[in-house]
Amino acid sequence: MLEFKVDREESVALHDQVAAEIRKAIADGEAVAGETLPSSKYLATVLGVNQNTVLRALRILRDEGIVDFTRGRGVKVTGTPSKGAVIMKLSELLAFARVNGYKRSDIISLIESMP
């Protein structure tokens, strides 16, 4: 399960490559909701990268709502890449709204008032 590849010659940052590979594995059904992923230490060893690189990728995926982790309990798949994409867009919308003077409750009201 989860055969990853990173390319050090590619212009994409290593942590973004690791995050993309995990997203792809989840989208392809290699890892499903509720399943525990291999440890960051194991992934770092297999990929030949620093463990912090893997942890940074996992934090990105956590922020997207795709995985959840607690120290000592492992990394569990909690969502799908499409759900993560929606969460990312909502985060962008909220940030944009805040800059323009809107609160979260204002945005919720606007969404609920849409046809």
pLDDT in tens, 57-79: 999 999 888 999 877 888 999 98
CB 56 within 8 A of CB 15: yes
Its pTM stands at 0.70
pLDDT tens track for 13-60: 999 999 988 888 888 888 888 899 999 999 999 888 999 999 999 999
The fold for domain 14-79 equals: Arc Repressor Mutant, subunit A (1.10.10)
Which of 53, 51, 42, 48 lies closest to 19 in space, CA to CA?
53
Extents of the domains making up the chain: 14-79, 83-113
